[in-house]
Amino acid sequence: MKIGIFPDDDSIGRAAADLVQELFTHHPQANLGLATGSSPLATYRHLIDRVSSGTLSFARGQAYTLDEYVGLEPDHPQRYRHVIYRDFLSRVDFPAQSVHTPNGNANDLGAAARNYDQSIAQAGGIDLQILGIGSDGHIGFNEPGESFSSRTHVGVLTDQTRQDNARFFGADIDAVPAYCITQGLGTIMEARRLVLVAQGRSKARAIRELVEGAVSARWPATIMQMHPDAWVLIDEEAASELELIDYYREVWEKSRA
């Protein structure tokens, strides 16, 4: 894995946006995988600025989001489809028909999950997947115990995740849905490049497990150790439990020299 440790959120966002821009410069028809939530906001800000200034365009690309809550009212502001439009998609130039999100309100959620997986495969797969990480080690909404080869599926959120996300639901954990539909770990691992961004002390344990822990279903993100092109871009606080932090800094600097 490539591990970049940055002084602040803005520099994480710039580095992640550089990777996205490099992809679209060489491959304007690329498929970009998007995460919702707070972690990628600085990345999205940098990408929005570059699209606004004309140095980057997604006009020929496709976007696929990772996951969605199940059962929120169609107009609920915390539906991930709405959140990602508010935070990113409404301010860049992906054509509307090129944006794909899992349907958490489908009558047949199993079929919706299978169809979503198929649509990614038919499009040729995700070229670059942006990821956040849950404090319990989830990526997408793949919670502890999830199969490493899972496809897009309906899952049950942990109390930890519902507690973490209650801040978006008026601090009311009961208002956070218990179910989700998410790309599986197998689906995510098929992306050609993974770029995980994380900030803050609350992510430090999960980052330690991701980078230095044993590959284990207890910490689903550890499967990224098996990916040939995974990037972990974090701030000092998220890096604070890494045993070999000085070594990772040295490798990063030498690989940029």
Contacts with ligand F6R, residue ranges (CB under 6 A): 35-39, 66-67, 132-134, 138-141
Give the residue ranges of DSSP H helices in 53-189: 80-87, 109-122, 159-165, 185-189
Considering 9, 87, 143, 164, which one is annotated as catalytic?
Answer: 143
Query: In what helix (H) or strand (E) does residue 63 lie, and over which residues does it extend?
Result: strand 62-65
Element (H, E) at 180: strand 179-182
- 33 φ, ψ (degrees, to nearest 5): -95, 130
User: For this structure, is 143 an active site residue?
Assistant: yes
- The helix/strand/coil state of 196 is strand
Of 9, 46, 67, 146, which one is the catalytic site residue?
67
**Is the CB of 38 or the CB of 78 nearer to ligand F6R?**
38
CA distances from 79 to 18, 76, 115, 205, 224 (A): 28, 6, 20, 28, 27
Q: How far is the CB of 233 from ligand F6R (least distance, A)?
A: 13
CB-CB neighbours of 187 under 10 Å:
27
Is 10 a residue of the active site?
Answer: no
> 136, 146, 209, 235: which is the annotated catalytic residue?
136
Q: Please, which residue, 35 or 195, has the CB nearer to ligand F6R?
A: 35
Q: How far apart are CA 111 and CA 75, in angstroms?
A: 22
Q: How far is the CB of 199 from ligand F6R (least distance, A)?
A: 8
Alpha carbons within 13 A on the beta-carbon side of 10: 1
Taking the least distance from each CB to ligand F6R, the nearer of 60 and 76 is 76
Smallest distance, ligand F6R to C-beta of residue 102, A = 10
Q: Which of 46, 138, 146, 164 is catalytic?
A: 138
> Toward ligand F6R, which CB reaches closer, 139 or 230?
139
| Residue 27 known to be catalytic | no
Is 117 designated active site? no
CB-based closest residue to ligand F6R: 132
For the CB of residue 147, give the shortest distance to ligand F6R in the complex, in Å: 17
Contacting residues for 244 by C-beta, under 8 A, at least 6 apart: 212
Which residue, 48 or 221, has its beta carbon nearer to ligand F6R? 221
Minimum distance from CB of 255 to ligand F6R (Å)?
Answer: 26
Q: Rounded to the nearest whole angstrom, what is the least distance from the CB of residue 133 to ligand F6R in the complex?
A: 6
Question: Of the two residues 4 and 134, which places its CB atom closer to ligand F6R in the complex?
Answer: 134
Q: Which helix or strand (DSSP H or E) is residue 33 part of? A: strand 31-34
| Pairing, β 67-69 against β 179-182 | antiparallel
179: helix, strand or coil: strand
Which residues form the catalytic set?
Answer: 67, 136, 138, 143
